[in-house]
Amino acid sequence: MLILISIAAFLATMFGGLFALKFKDRLHLILGFSAGAVIGVAFFDLIPEALEFGGGVYNASTIMTVTALGFVTYLILDRFFYFHTHDDTEHSQRGVLGAGSISVHSFLDGTAIGLAFQVSAVLGAVVALAVLAHGFSDGVNTVGLIIKNGGIRRTALCWLSVDAIAPVLGIASTMFFTLSAASLGLVLALFAGFFLYIGASDLLPESHHTHPTHWTTIMTILGIVVLYGMIALAGL
């Protein structure tokens, strides 16, 4: 069962990234959708899961504080460590940081699947459906961040491959360790803050840069709605 889920997660992410590469001439629309998808993942997936996993030990205020800490941490990395100049190297590092964050999140998705199956097959199946629901958008977001920040096709494919294999490695890793639900909740809360920053400060402004805003705004709303619908269906 876990092998089939791993293959499905890999393919969903790859298909999303290849879709983004094929239509990169419409990058502003893809970025608009990605912005909505990333924000949607934070609000409808990461934060609810953080509250669910961590709620037995930490109250909602503590978990949301960790989310805020994630937002501020990414802000500091963005403003003071990676992006203080505007040359091509510094610009590309922004894409790498964003794609790396998504890949780590994908690894944690795989970890969540494996740990959920340690509890019960039913819980594992529910978590797996939620992960597969936004795997396609993860691929789109990874490629969009690399291309938007000046990365070439080869770099985008490399990071897409990393993102696609990450949940597989996450699932496999749970054969060697266990992580408490509370600890996983805090990690998910931290990444929710990362994703809120990426969507609001990076993808969203770039999606309508030099382009009319009405279509990109529609795509952003569509990204949020699609992620909400997919995650809601996965939770049924």
Higher pLDDT, 77 or 66: 66
Q: How many CB atoms lie within 10 A of CB 205?
A: 11
Q: What token pair was written down for 56?
A: 């037995």
DSSP assignment of 179-232: --HHHHHHHHHHHHHHHHHIIIIIIHHHHTTTS-HHHHHHHHHHHHHHHHHHHH
Rounded CA separation 42/37 (Å): 9
Its pTM stands at: 0.65
Residues of the chain above pLDDT 70, percent: 83
Q: What token pair was written down for 10?
A: 């890999």
> 125-161: per-residue pLDDT in tens?
766 766 776 677 788 878 888 887 777 888 889 999 9
Q: Among 101, 143, 113, 60, which residue's Cα sits nearest to residue 234? A: 113
Q: Among 145, 139, 142, 141, which residue's Cα sits nearest to residue 91? A: 145
What per-residue confidence (pLDDT) applies to 92?
Answer: 59
Give me Rg for the CA atoms of the chain: 17
> 77-105: per-residue pLDDT in tens?
767 655 444 445 555 577 788 788 888 87
Rounded CA separation 223/202 (Å): 15
What per-residue confidence (pLDDT) applies to 236?
Answer: 56
Rounded CA separation 164/180 (Å): 25
